[in-house]
Structure 1
């Protein structure tokens, strides 16, 4: 299969998984603090990735000169962006979280041009403008009350930092195992978060983790949406440029919004859907290209 086609499939699958992540995290965040949930998710993912490395006998070696890019992936993407996603989702809704972060592809076009020298066509420029208008509508006047607006702005930060992280993924040589790259980046984020979650972890009753929703949710977030989806996203991005590859992110709001309505019974205003239309229209322009 053509690598660009396969790369697109990997990234679309990863984005679809993340769409479901917002619904799962919304349920668990009623019990666990956002940063603690991120930490638990990463611990589970590290165990899965390390076992996979051992079973498949992949190389653990990373050259020193390439470590800064991997550290940046861990700090900017897996610490700042994912942390902002969880805090923003807690303060808003699963649908709002999925929709706002779907503007990531437009930001990836901009960062791809600035840092990687990728060509910005007219379609890509129009895409970025439309997606930005859509985000502003969803955050500011998307039919949500004021208590959700702070969450919306935090989610915009999540979208920006994830787009910036994807630039650093492109700087990592293709010769490395993407499982190893993903594992080291998650390890960086886990170490960075650990000092901030020790106290809330100690205050938590051990019985909480045996609740089916909490146990199953953390397992899903760690194994599927972290170990699996992070690997798929990084692998797909190696075969596509940042501006084009990021457009498969549009599967996230579609899945997230549908599941938010189906499972959580969330309702949104008319202007939310106008904003969503602008975001998806902007993304579809570049996909057509």
Structure 2
């Protein structure tokens, strides 16, 4: 059994996942300019699923039984819906819209966790989520003109909302698979299940655009974008996200998602020369406090949550 410190470290694994996802704001500046969004999403998940499968195969152990695959197919459907709507929605909107709407994921996750898994929304969790959310809003207000957030493509905004809700679904409905198979196998087989679904969507996108797969440019930028999205923000990040579910409830894991825009802003400043907003430090401090408060509820309701997920 893991030590208390080890369990706490794994409970913080979703924070590392959020940091890796924060890098997507930088990488997308390369990827979307070179590869259509759904096709890029397919390449991302196919590479990530392949990398995860190699690790699982190297470790050995039985594959899921025929009766277990339907659950992974459902999770693959959540993955497909998340990636397709998130990437297309991001292409149709601006950075402020994308940042604000994607951080609604924790809200959706807490609501689904309470409705589907029976997780308790304690005063500490609600307060910590609120503080972290305010911190995120302060960071974004310093980076973007939030007064213009409502402007732009309504379809893109709607798709980003669907993407946020879909990732909440992947988190909540994945808890049972994580507790039964472990984070690595749950992330691997759900990703593998999504590959043919995203492949069909990508083929339809290329057909609609009149683009042949051979027309996609093979440049250093496109290769680097796919490698980062596939290995870092998919294989590593999805495993880390599910690893947190081994130790804490879905609603607790969700709070770490608030860190994603802050990491994206910091990487944009470091790698792209973008300026950090005036509220970055203050917002980051509030976010840290909120995440710390929620993360202290490590395993208090984990067993009850697992029981509810297994019903």
Q: Which category of TM-score, normalised to the shorter sequence, fits these structures?
A: 0.7 to 0.9
Residue in 2 that maps onto 1:74: 76
Q: Structure 2 residue aligned with 1:57, among 51, 55, 60?
A: 60
**1:281 Cα offset (Å):** 8.8
Partner of 1:158: 163
Q: How does 1:4-83 map to 2 (within 5 A)?
A: 4-62=7-65, 64=67, 66-76=68-78, 78-83=79-84
State yes or no: 1:249 paired with 2:251. no
SS in 1 for 2:181: coil
Alignment of 1:227-242 (within 5 A): 227-242=235-250
- 1:1-289 mapped onto 2 (5 Å cutoff): 1-2=3-4, 3-62=6-65, 64=67, 66-76=68-78, 78-94=79-95, 96-125=97-126, 131=133, 141-144=146-149, 146-147=151-152, 150-172=155-177, 174-198=179-203, 200=206, 203-204=211-212, 206=214, 208-264=216-272, 280=287, 283-284=290-291, 286-287=294-295
CA distance in 2, matches of 1:47, 1:61: 16
Q: Does the C-alpha gap of structure 1 residues 100 and 173 become closer, same or farther in structure 2, counting only changes over 3 Å? A: closer
1:104–1:163: 8 Å Cα contact kept in structure 2?
yes
TM-score of the superposed pair, with normalisation by structure 1: 0.81
Measured in 1, the distance between the counterparts of 2:39 and 2:74 equals 21
Alpha-carbon distance between aligned partners in 2 of 1:91 and 1:9, rounded to the nearest angstrom: 32
Cα distance change on mapping 1:239 and 1:31 into 2, 3 Å: same
State the Cα distance separating 1:287 from its structure 2 match.
4.5
CA separation of 1:173/1:235 partners in 2, compared to 1, >3 Å: closer, same or farther? closer
Deviation of the 1:140 alpha carbon: 11
Higher mean C-alpha deviation, range 87-96 or range 224-233: 87-96
> In the TM superposition, what is the alpha-carbon distance from 1:23 to its structure 2 partner?
2.0
Alignment RMSD = 3.5
Say whether the 8 Å CA contact 1:59–1:177 is kept in structure 2.
no
**Are 1:107 and 1:160, in contact at CA under 8 Å, matched by a contact in 2?**
yes
- What TM-score comes out, normalization by structure 2 length? 0.76
CA contact (8 A) 1:46 1:227 kept: yes
Which runs of 5 or more structure 1 residues have no equivalent in the other structure? none
Check conservation: 1:16, 1:252, Cα contact below 8 A.
yes
- Structure 2: 5+ residue runs without aligned partners? 298-311
* Structure 1 residues 129 and 148: CA distance shift in structure 2, 3 A: farther
Which is helix-richer, 1 or 2?
1
Alpha-carbon distance change, 147 to 265 in structure 1, aligned in 2, over 3 angstroms: farther
Q: More displaced, 179-188 or 78-87? A: 179-188
